[in-house]
Structure 1
Amino acid sequence: MSILTVRNVNKNFGGLAALSEVNLEVEEGSVHAIIGPNGAGKSTLLNCFVGRLDPDTGTVDFDGVSLLGLKPHQINQAGVSRVFQTPEIFGDLTLVENVMIPAFAKRDGAFKLSAWPAVRGEADIYQKAMDTLSDLGLAKYAQVTAGQLSRGDKRRLELAMCLVQEPKLLLLDEPTAGMARADTNRTIDLLKTIAGRGITMVVIEHDMHVVFSLADKISVLAQGTIIAEDLPEKIKGNPKVQEAYLGGAHL
């Protein structure tokens, strides 16, 4: 059963087509990768999923409900969380405080930093945040200021900030960008564990090692259009994909 259905989505910027008649179905409980060259429209497509951009035409339905016209926090409340290309964390707060904030937001529907002093002492939210950090191997850094973390740990922290909200759909935009191979492999193992819990994931990634380690299905986006969609082993040998993505070289 599909949990995310995209139909005939178009998005133009200044007369240039960033997305053109994009159709996509993501099966519940799957890991669905979206690959393609730089400028293909991948991040634009994700932005249409989370309310940062509205498509010019087309539909985006999540769990049977249209996401069009909803604010990002409303989409988040519906069960969609996103990890960005550049980690979006509160660098001046500790790790546990970073994870407490989205936990509050999920519970209360919204969160204002101005309310933080009054709510930061809530024991149940604190414990939920600590449990999530522990799950991702970050509990020992709970009282460390987030800005001091390595890039890989900032990625894991942002992932913790998503997971504490118990999403149905997790969107990951270049989750291993800038990581050393050891951090990349740890992230792959972590994402496999998350997928094993039944959380649906959409992953945008340039590293084919990551893609083929995780994906159940791959969609290939080129010049704003999906040119192929198939199982990973079939995408590898698709000459159309090889030409668009790597100039004819094998994946």
Structure 2
Amino acid sequence: MGILEVKGVNKNFGGLKALDEVNLEVEQGTVHAIIGPNGAGKSTLLNCLIGRLKPDTGTVLYEGKPLLARSPHEINQAGISRVFQTPEIFADQTLLENVMIPAFARRDGSFAMKAWNSVSGEGELRDKALAMLEDVGLKEKAHVVAGQLSRGDKRRLELAMCLVQEPKLLLLDEPTAGMARADTNNTIDLMKRIGQTGITMVVIEHDMHVVFSLAQKISVLAQGTVIVEDLPENIKGNPKVQEAYLGGAHL
């Protein structure tokens, strides 16, 4: 049994079938990539997993227990964090404050915080946030306002904001979208280090260089359905993948 099991999940938007009997299993401690063409249902699936959307039918088990009935906050408290396609940071706050906010929420169980002065005075949280910024290579920018960062650094900051919550399962939606190759490679290296800590990752990604650099297993979505779930070396030459995802071209 995997850390995450998706069984027969369906989601419709009016007459559009976004997810059609989706099944997949994510093994603990692995990087599991989800690929597929635009409109395949990848982000919809992740939104169902974090409670932003409710599937019409189907079940999702996390550590063997039902996930879908939980609120987004309860899902986060259970150890699931998500990195969004567009980095979601507090642009007017410093990097240190950005990482302290989720650290505080994780400890106290709510983002409804006290005044900033009391939060920023929390020595233990401050030390934890600084250590996390060091882990992602941003400690020297701890007091820089987050809105001034490059896209690559914003992504690293968002990863630090997730990791400070000590997740067991990290969901990443296009983590290298819009990055230059150097930033992409730095992000790959960072994600490899995260994987070495035992955190399970589910990664949606269009960049095949990223996918094949990280994933131990790949699920391919097409028209809302998982058409193939296999090892990376078997995905490259799979004719179903080549037809559905790349129109017959090789990965």
Secondary structure class of the residue paired with 1:2: coil
Report the CA distance between 1:82 and its aligned residue.
0.4
Counterpart AA for 2:128: K
Counterpart AA for 1:219: S
Instruction: Specify every segment of 5 or more residues in structure 2 that has no aligned partner in the other structure, as ranges.
Output: none
The 2-side partners of 1:241 and 1:4 are apart by: 23
Secondary structure class of the residue paired with 2:24: strand
The 2-side partners of 1:70 and 1:6 are apart by: 15
Counterpart AA for 2:194: I
The 1-side partners of 2:46 and 2:117 are apart by: 33
The 1-side partners of 2:188 and 2:246 are apart by: 23
Matched, 1:243 2:243: yes
The 2-side partners of 1:199 and 1:239 are apart by: 32
**Identical residues among aligned pairs (%):** 77
Partner of 1:56: 56
Partner of 2:229: 229
Instruction: Specify every segment of 5 or more residues in structure 1 that has no aligned partner in the other structure, as ranges.
Output: none
Counterpart AA for 1:186: N
Counterpart AA for 2:110: A
1:217-240 deviation per Cα after TM superposition (whole angstroms, max 9, x unaligned): 000000000000100010000011
Partner of 2:4: 4
Partner of 1:209: 209
The 1-side partners of 2:108 and 2:7 are apart by: 32
Counterpart AA for 1:54: K
Secondary structure class of the residue paired with 1:104: helix
Matched, 1:139 2:145: no
Report the CA distance between 1:115 and its aligned residue.
3.9
Partner of 1:79: 79
Secondary structure class of the residue paired with 2:179: coil
Counterpart AA for 1:22: V
Matches within 5 A, 1:1-251: 1-112=1-112, 115-251=115-251
Report the CA distance between 1:119 and its aligned residue.
1.9
1:122-163 deviation per Cα after TM superposition (whole angstroms, max 9, x unaligned): 000000000000011000000000000000000000000000
The 2-side partners of 1:243 and 1:156 are apart by: 34
The 2-side partners of 1:141 and 1:66 are apart by: 40
Secondary structure class of the residue paired with 2:178: coil
Report the CA distance between 1:111 and its aligned residue.
1.4
Report the CA distance between 1:114 and its aligned residue.
5.6
Counterpart AA for 2:182: A
The 1-side partners of 2:23 and 2:219 are apart by: 10
Counterpart AA for 1:51: G
Report the CA distance between 1:113 and its aligned residue.
5.0
Counterpart AA for 1:106: R
Secondary structure class of the residue paired with 1:117: helix
- Normalising by structure 2, what TM-score? 0.98
Counterpart AA for 2:9: V
Report the CA distance between 1:118 and its aligned residue.
2.6
Could you say if the C-alpha distance between residues 115 and 66 of structure 1 is closer, same or farther in structure 2, counting changes exceeding 3 Å? Answer: farther
The list of structure 1 runs, each at least 4 consecutive aligned residues, that deviate by more than 6 angstroms after superposition, is none
1:72-111 deviation per Cα after TM superposition (whole angstroms, max 9, x unaligned): 1110000000000000000000000000000011111111
Counterpart AA for 2:45: L
Counterpart AA for 1:73: H
The 2-side partners of 1:61 and 1:107 are apart by: 25
- Normalising by structure 1, what TM-score? 0.98
The 2-side partners of 1:226 and 1:205 are apart by: 15
1:157-186 deviation per Cα after TM superposition (whole angstroms, max 9, x unaligned): 000000001100000000000000011011
